Structure 1
Amino acid sequence: MRKIEVLPYNPSWASQFKNDAALITSILSSNLIAIDHIGSTAVPNLAAKPVIDILLEVNSLDVLDTCNEALQHIGYKAKGENGITGRRYYQKGGDNRSHHIHAFVKGDEQLFKHRVFRDYLIAFPSIANDYAKVKLNAATNCNNNSALYCEMKNDFIAEHLANAVKWANQIKC
């Protein structure tokens, strides 16, 4: 069973992302448009589960699917859409999960949402601090139930994702 724990920010998370990003980039080559570090480990000073979330923007999910064996070779297990239509999801580390890949085709709205939520938390440290409290509470009270942990964060994420989208749209003006 996976242990759900939220740890203080670790500056090595950025280098862990860069190391795997280089490996992934070498495998995906011309299908890859962009690779981003997302999620809580991408936000300086934010407590997080020590799992590096990687966002891939690709030209074709079908082409990405042909790379599953090569990604498996570097430790990533393909999980299909895993509950989100139009996504390809990969896990590394089994029960001791270390990385996730979330891949979407160019133009998918999920790309914007993941990036803007990260950027919003970076721009507003007090909100990131509030999010850390929500996550610490969820980790303490979820009894290592991943679905419950996520459910306990949902309201905060929904409210602040909506705020992040508004914020991003104001910046563009």
Structure 2
Amino acid sequence: MWRIRAEHLDLLFSGRFNNFEVRMFRDTQVIHIAPYDPRWPDRFLNERNQLLSCPDCPFLEIEHIGSTSVPGLVAKPVIDLMASATLLEEVEAFLPQLKKLGYQPLDGGFRRRRSFGRSANEGSEAYNLHIVPACQWADKDERLFRDWLCSHPSVVQEYAALKKELAAMNLPTIADYTDAKGEFIRSEIQKARAAFGKPRRTDWRE
């Protein structure tokens, strides 16, 4: 069962969230919802450069996605990267390099991407790396959602408020927290797709 420290709940409802970090616990696992950290973009760039400097790197593009890529948005301190490769099969030969960097495969149930994660170390955030085929790069919803948020500050505020509200609800699992954001995210993605000239999303499976 998730639980939230009582003093954090008091801060949540008093509107003073930006001065602290919400922590939700389940056994030994901790999820942080932290105020925006202006160091996150540099952390992304350092990781991007490290990946691209590896021998035989198959990545054509690497971008910062997720909440840490949106200025001013509260987020779990996990740097999400999305990379493109001509073919996903090319990633297999690069697995030893990813392992050297501390990345481990993640099973997200995806059929058309490969995902890897690196746990947080002292003084460093955790990282997630999502690798997709280059032919799908321009249509990836994570990129469109990021750009939509960056150009719509009011939506950022609404999204941040939703995150705080859900964090205070003591939801049973991480999946419940993620699912509870789904309706808002899908709605905004459809708006982003329309604004960027993309067809409406009818199949959310990947």
Q: TM-score when scaled to structure 2?
A: 0.75
- The separation in 1 between residues aligned to 2:98 and 2:29, in whole angstroms, is 22
Q: Which runs of 5+ in 1 are unaligned?
A: none
Q: Which runs of 5+ in 2 are unaligned?
A: 1-27, 199-206
**Letter matched to residue 68 of structure 1:** L
Q: 2:116 aligns with which of 75, 90, 99?
A: 90
1:75-125 deviations in Å (ceiling 9; x for gaps): 111225x21211100011079971101110112268531111000000001
- After superposing the two structures, state which structure 1 stretch, 59-68 or 98-107, moved more: 59-68
8 A Cα contact 1:43 1:122, kept in partner: yes
Aligned counterpart, 2:194? 166
Aligned counterpart, 1:121? 149
Q: Residue 37 of structure 1 aligns to a residue in which SS?
A: strand
Say whether 1:27 aligns with 2:72: no
Q: Which has the larger radius of gyration?
A: 2
Q: 2:162 aligns with which of 134, 142, 148?
A: 134
Shift in CA distance, 127/28, structure 1 to aligned 2, threshold 3 Å: farther
Q: 1:147 aligns with which of 175, 193, 197?
A: 175
- After superposing the two structures, state which structure 1 stretch, 18-27 or 8-17, moved more: 18-27
**Letter matched to residue 32 of structure 1:** F
- The separation in 2 between residues aligned to 1:101 and 1:117, in whole angstroms, is 17
8 A Cα contact 1:79 1:89, kept in partner: yes
Q: Residue 72 of structure 2 aligns to a residue in which SS?
A: coil
- The separation in 2 between residues aligned to 1:144 and 1:37, in whole angstroms, is 29
**Letter matched to residue 75 of structure 1:** G
8 A Cα contact 2:36 2:68, kept in partner: yes
- The separation in 1 between residues aligned to 2:48 and 2:194, in whole angstroms, is 30
**Letter matched to residue 36 of structure 1:** E
Q: TM-score when scaled to structure 1?
A: 0.88
- The separation in 1 between residues aligned to 2:132 and 2:34, in whole angstroms, is 28
Aligned counterpart, 1:68? 95
Q: CA RMSD in A?
A: 2.3
**Letter matched to residue 91 of structure 1:** G
Aligned counterpart, 2:5? none
Following superposition, the deviation at residue 27 of structure 1 comes to 2.4
Moved over 4 A (4+): 94-97
Q: Residue 84 of structure 1 aligns to a residue in which SS?
A: coil
- Between Structure 1 and Structure 2, the one with more helix by share is 1
Q: What is the total number of aligned residue pairs between the two structures?
A: 169
Say whether 1:42 aligns with 2:63: no
Specify which structure has the bigger relative contact order, considering alpha-carbon pairs within 8 angstroms and separated by 6 or more residues: 1
